[in-house]
Amino acid sequence: MNAGIAALRSPRLSTSGAKRVLSLPVVALAAVVLLVAPASQSSAQEEGASDALGQAIEDYLDAQDELAALEQQQEDLEQELEDSQAEVAELQTELEEYAYTASMTSDYQSTAALLASGDPQDAISALTMLQFLGESRAVRLNDLITRLEEIEATRETLDDNIAEQEDVTAEMEDARDEAARELAASGGDAADGPTVSDAPAAEPYEGGEGGCTEDDPTPADGCLTPRTLHALEQAQIAGFTRYVSCYRPSGSGEHPKGRACDFSSEPGGFGGDAGGGDYDYGQNLAAWFTENADALGVQYVIWYRQIWFPGNGWKSYSGAYGDPSSDHTNHVHLSIRY
């Protein structure tokens, strides 16, 4: 867990939160029963959105693996091409030297002089070896030229396959991001959320600057900057899928600008001071945001009476009203630079 987050103070739970046993009138009981069906339906929708995101992530990762395999083939082929071209150049030089040597020893006078200069058998062996080396190099050169033609044809096909797989991967990425937005729109599920070490790192934002131009998929139903939407999607993809609300039309800060989101530490909405597993969820989410600050473009994070700025770490924070929402003890606030 992030060292700065680990130092945050654990909440104390008051006895006022203890459950009370109430005696409900028959009409009230009937109302409770009627509420069960919509709640179950909503839960099923959230579970379906969560399953869709999981499948979309798996499809995207499979597409990435296929693209990486094709790119590795391309790298290996380029290396073979480079090595083969170098060997062709070397063989051409050797063959030129062989042709020169053969031409100098092909006439009768040169051959007679060679035979008279020493052991005739050694001379004959030397001439035979010279001829063999020339022929073997010629065969190897022809083989390499054929292989170079095959490599060139394979390169063209591989380039087409990579371009096609890049399109598939981009489509799978778009589908994954859309599934993340749909999960945010459903209000999130009741997942415990990953620990910081289990959550995948956020992918760097590669878009441009922009105003509040993107639809806010959360129940706030406003607008977000492209970078803020990216941060929301990445948090959902990393497994932090509890209730989140982003845009707010009034007030100060980044919410009205579409540059902030509030991530509830509880499933289903904002409650009181987080404790137990809800507190751990907030801890892990806040730590994940700080560890991925560069990729996401984080301006600052607020969680449990603490505020984090890049380069400054965690500092004490006091809300204006002393309640869970103001003190951010029931949600993690994320603000993005633009």
Q: 331 pairs with which residues across the strands?
A: 264
Q: How far apart are CA 107 and CA 127, in angstroms?
A: 13
Nearest to 332 by CA among 270, 275, 278, 264: 264
Our measurement of the distance from residue 242's CA atom to the centroid of its chain's CA atoms, rounded to an integer in Å, reads 21
Tell me how many degrees the CA angle 276-186-18 measures, rounded to the nearest 5.
30
Separation between Cα atoms, residue 317 and residue 305, nearest integer Å: 5
21: phi > 0 → left, psi -120 to 50 → alpha, else beta; which?
A: beta
158 CB-side CA count, 13 A: 18
Q: Which two tokens stand for residue 8?
A: 């945050």
* Distance from C-alpha of 233 to C-alpha of 314, rounded to nearest angstrom: 25
User: Running DSSP on this structure, what letter comes out for residue 273?
Assistant: S
Where are the chain's structural domains? 69-177, 187-336
Tokens of residue 193, six digits: 């959320």
- What is the model's pLDDT at position 103? 67
Helices (H) and strands (E) in the chain, counts: 8, 8
Q: Which long-range contacts (CB under 8 A, 24 or more apart) does 135-139 make?
A: 137/91, 137/94, 137/95, 137/98, 138/95
Look at residues 275, 286, 281, 272 and name the one whose alpha carbon lies nearest to residue 317.
286
Per-residue pLDDT of the chain (338 residues; tens, 9 = 90+): 444 444 443 333 333 333 322 233 322 323 322 223 344 445 666 667 778 877 888 888 898 899 999 999 899 988 988 888 888 888 778 777 777 776 665 554 455 555 555 666 656 566 665 566 667 877 887 888 888 889 988 988 999 999 999 999 989 988 888 888 788 887 776 567 899 989 999 999 988 778 999 999 999 889 999 999 999 999 999 999 999 999 999 888 999 999 999 999 998 889 999 999 999 999 999 999 999 999 999 999 999 999 999 999 999 998 778 899 999 999 999 999 98
Nearest-CA neighbor of 240 among 278, 297, 274?
278
| SS3 assignment, position 259 | coil
pTM above 0.85, yes or no: no
Q: In this structure, are residues 123 and 117 in contact, taking their beta carbons and an 8 Å threshold? A: yes
Q: Do the Cβ atoms of 74 and 161 come closer than 8 Å?
A: no
According to DSSP, the β-strands at 331-336 and 260-264 are: antiparallel
Instruction: In whole angstroms, give the CA distance from residue 133 to residue 69.
Output: 40
Residue with tokens 């700025």: 309
